[in-house]
Amino acid sequence: MQVAGVFLPGSGSRRASGAGVGGGGGGASRMLLTFEGESLVHRVVRRALRVGLSPVIVVVADEPEGMRAALADLECECLVGPRTSRSTDAPLHVALRRLDRQCDAAVVMDGEMVKVTERMIGALVAAARRSPAPLVVSRYGQVTAPPLLFRRALFGELLASNGQDCGGPVVQRHRDDALYLDWAPELAPGVVAAPIKRPSARRRKKR
């Protein structure tokens, strides 16, 4: 079973029960900030690769050069998404269209995944291997949030969605057929346990 990783750094911060990848947030520039000595974008992509997601696709609209520089040592593809689209589904569409037909599923991650671990990402893939459920959803108490795993059978519905809650309508539509993985509420994306530092002026200049 081939499972891709789709990372949407510009999405995040809006959470509601049953939601997918929310819109808004600090955008791609926030993902260049440092958490525990590593940029946020590098942290997420590195963990996705170590779990075995392949390919890993990152879709950004802002600061693409800075993002590519931050990911230069990792085997992933950084694509530029639309800057003016009103739909937060648009970056996801860019990634899904890039995946070939050999890809069986995709784990969708967003810009609030500071505390999501390799074990959590790996658990989604393991759950999909043992269950025919069309999607595997992470649940933190009463809130659902990334990472989310969608099987290829749902890609068409994701591509047809043009809303402000990336993947949310598809999650809601198939909520009774989904497989849920429960995690501690304090692990929910967007909850930061340590200070996030901005790159130094010298480091930003090099990028």
In this predicted model, what pLDDT tens digit does every residue of 64-111 receive, in sequence order? 889 999 999 999 999 988 765 555 678 899 999 999 999 999 999 987
The mean-pLDDT minimum among 39-43, 147-151, 198-202 falls in 198-202
Average model confidence (pLDDT) across the chain:
81
Higher-pLDDT residue of 32 and 177 is 177
pTM for this prediction: 0.82
Domains and CATH numbers, the chain: 3-206 (3.90.550.10)
Q: How confident is the model at residue 36 (pLDDT cuts 50, 70, 90)?
A: confident
Single-letter residue type at 54? S
Distance CA 103, CA 120 (A): 20
Higher pLDDT, 168 or 127: 127
* Residue 15, pLDDT above cutoff 50: no
Give the model's pLDDT for residue 205: 46
Please, which pLDDT band fits residue 116 given cuts at 50, 70 and 90?
confident
**17, 47 contact by CB (below 8 A):** no
Tell me whether strands 105-110 and 3-8 are parallel, antiparallel or unpaired. Answer: parallel
Separation of alpha carbons 30 and 132, rounded Å = 36
Residue 137: closest CA among 125, 122, 147: 147
Question: Is the separation of the CB atoms in 42 and 23 below 8 Å?
Answer: no
Tens of pLDDT along 167-181?
888 999 999 999 999
Residue 206 has pLDDT above 70, yes or no: no
Strand partners, 109: 7
Instruction: Judge contact between 69 and 207, C-beta under 8 A.
Output: yes
Amino acid at 102: Q
- Range in 10-14, 60-64, 190-194 the model is least confident about: 190-194
Query: Quick check: 13 and 24 in contact, CB under 8 A?
Result: yes
State both tokens at 43.
């942290």
Quickly count: other Cβ atoms within 10 Å of residue 164's Cβ.
13
